[in-house]
């Protein structure tokens, strides 16, 4: 079985390889295959980064060119998905699977996180804590349970992800760090990332004052759209899964379609990622083909998952 035992290893020490030791994913794939899947492909990473950024800019140009309300709705939906990809690129950086260099991973993580107004270091250690206690007692991502359809609807705006991080950033600025920030280095990095976040906000506010129409349409509205997209695409990966540390049963994997998989950095293969966190996102599809059928909770698409969830809530009599 693949379970995470209680461990005295601090979160400061947890990296992708340690997480795999904690998950004890023995017997799923052999060591040689794992070694091959762990290899970084810098070309693929750069191309995917360039594709997402270029697509975002192209969609913005389409919106400005046509300047029709329904065109903007389509543009904003896709741009919101691409910003969801920023979160997942940032996620790769937390596991040092974006590039080989730790420094590049940190700098890239700051870049991707600033776009969605996120403190990279806070997210990084929060996410490590989540991996250590995924869907079990101690998981900072408290398992969501919707008792009725209204509970589900209330979560659609997606603010349950963003607002807690913004509040953590503000509290950290005054020296009040969350429990998972344990070392002096982590505290220092949180402060540095807060400074970077403040500079980014000042730049965006200035751009909004100088060019309000463009900045609102090309940044603020897509950012607002990103919040419900994050709820739709990322926040329910453990919903309805088994409680406990078994990585085969506590996380959901979603097949989705090629386009969405690509702009989201294969984050749909969440169960595969929890089993082998050090594998770069561009290899998660290969991993899925090898072990995807071993996971208890699998979905074909996000739409079908949410429709089934809504139908179940309706059947409950609400």
Q: Mind listing the pLDDT tens digit for each residue in 119-156?
A: 999 999 999 999 888 888 888 886 678 888 999 999 88
Q: Is residue 30 part of a domain?
A: no
Q: Is residue 155 part of a domain?
A: yes
Q: How far apart are CA 47 and CA 269, in angstroms?
A: 20
pLDDT at 18 over 70: no
Count of structural domains within the chain: 1
Q: Is residue 9 part of a domain?
A: no
Residue 67 Cα to chain centre, angstroms:
31
What pLDDT is recorded for position 12? 43
Residues in the chain: 318
Measured at the CA of 254, the angle between CA 153 and CA 311, to 5 degrees, comes to: 35
% of the chain with per-residue pLDDT over 90: 73
Q: Which residues pair with 298 in a beta bridge?
A: 253
pTM of the model as a whole = 0.90
Segments of the chain assigned E as strands: 252-254, 297-299
- In the structure encoding, which two tokens stand for residue 125, read together? 């250690």
Burial label for 70, CB within 10 Å (0-12, 13-18, 19+), is exposed
Q: Is residue 36 part of a domain?
A: no
> What is the radius of gyration, based on Cα positions, of the chain?
19
Q: Is residue 53 part of a domain?
A: yes
Q: Is residue 122 part of a domain?
A: yes
Burial label for 19, CB within 10 Å (0-12, 13-18, 19+), is buried
Q: How far apart are CA 52 and CA 124, in angstroms?
A: 22
The boundaries of the domain holding residue 150 are 42-317
Q: Mind listing the pLDDT tens digit for each residue in 296-312?
A: 999 999 999 999 999 99
Q: Mind listing the pLDDT tens digit for each residue in 255-305?
A: 999 999 999 999 999 999 999 998 999 999 999 999 999 999 999 999 999
Listed in sequence order, the residues at least 6 apart from 14 whose beta carbon sits closer than 8 Å to its beta carbon are 22, 128, 131, 132
What pLDDT is recorded for position 28? 77
pLDDT at 115 over 50: yes
3-state DSSP call for residue 298? Answer: strand
- In the structure encoding, which two tokens stand for residue 191, read together? 């402060």
What pLDDT is recorded for position 106? 97
Give the pairing of strands 252-254 and 297-299.
parallel
Q: Is residue 284 part of a domain?
A: yes
Output the CA torsion 260→306→291→95 (10° steps): 60
Q: How far apart are CA 91 and CA 185, in angstroms?
A: 20
Q: Taking each helix axis from N to C terminus, what angle separates 159-173 and 120-132, rounded to the nearest 10 degrees?
A: 120
- In the structure encoding, which two tokens stand for residue 115, read together? 């776009």
Q: Is residue 115 part of a domain?
A: yes
> Positive or negative, the Cα torsion across 135, 137, 140, 145?
positive
Across residues 208-229, what is the average pLDDT?
Answer: 97
């Amino acid at each position: 079985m693949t379970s995470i035992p209680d461990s005295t290893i601090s979160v400061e020490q947890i990296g992708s390889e340690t997480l795999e030791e904690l998950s004890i994913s023995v017997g799923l794939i052999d060591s040689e295959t794992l070694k091959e899947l762990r290899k970084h492909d810098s070309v693929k990473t750069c191309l995917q980064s360039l594709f997402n950024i270029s697509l975002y800019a192209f969609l913005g140009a389409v919106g400005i060119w046509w300047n029709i309300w329904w065109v903007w709705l389509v543009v904003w939906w896709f741009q919101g998905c691409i910003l969801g990809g920023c979160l997942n690129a940032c996620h790769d950086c937390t596991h040092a699977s974006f590039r080989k260099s730790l420094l590049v991973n940190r700098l890239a993580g700051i870049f991707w996180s600033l776009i969605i107004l996120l403190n990279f270091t806070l997210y990084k250690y929060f996410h490590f804590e989540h991996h250590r206690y995924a869907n079990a007692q101690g998981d900072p991502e408290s398992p969501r349970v919707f008792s009725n359809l209204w509970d589900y609807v209330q979560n659609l705006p997606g603010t349950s992800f963003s607002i807690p991080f913004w509040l953590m950033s503000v509290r950290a600025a005054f020296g009040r760090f969350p429990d998972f920030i344990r070392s002096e280095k982590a505290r220092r990095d949180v402060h540095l990332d807060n400074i970077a976040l403040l500079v980014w906000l000042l730049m965006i506010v200035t751009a909004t004052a100088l060019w309000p129409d463009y900045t609102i349409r090309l940044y603020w509205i897509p950012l607002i759209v990103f919040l419900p997209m994050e709820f739709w695409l990322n926040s329910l990966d453990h919903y309805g899964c088994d409680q406990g540390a078994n990585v085969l049963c506590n996380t959901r994997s979603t097949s989705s379609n090629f386009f969405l998989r690509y702009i989201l950095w294969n984050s749909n293969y969440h169960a595969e990622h929890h089993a082998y966190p050090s594998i770069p996102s561009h290899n998660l599809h290969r991993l899925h083909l090898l072990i995807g059928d071993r996971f208890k909770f699998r979905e074909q698409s996000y739409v079908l998952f949410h429709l089934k969830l809504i139908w179940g809530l309706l059947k409950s009599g609400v």
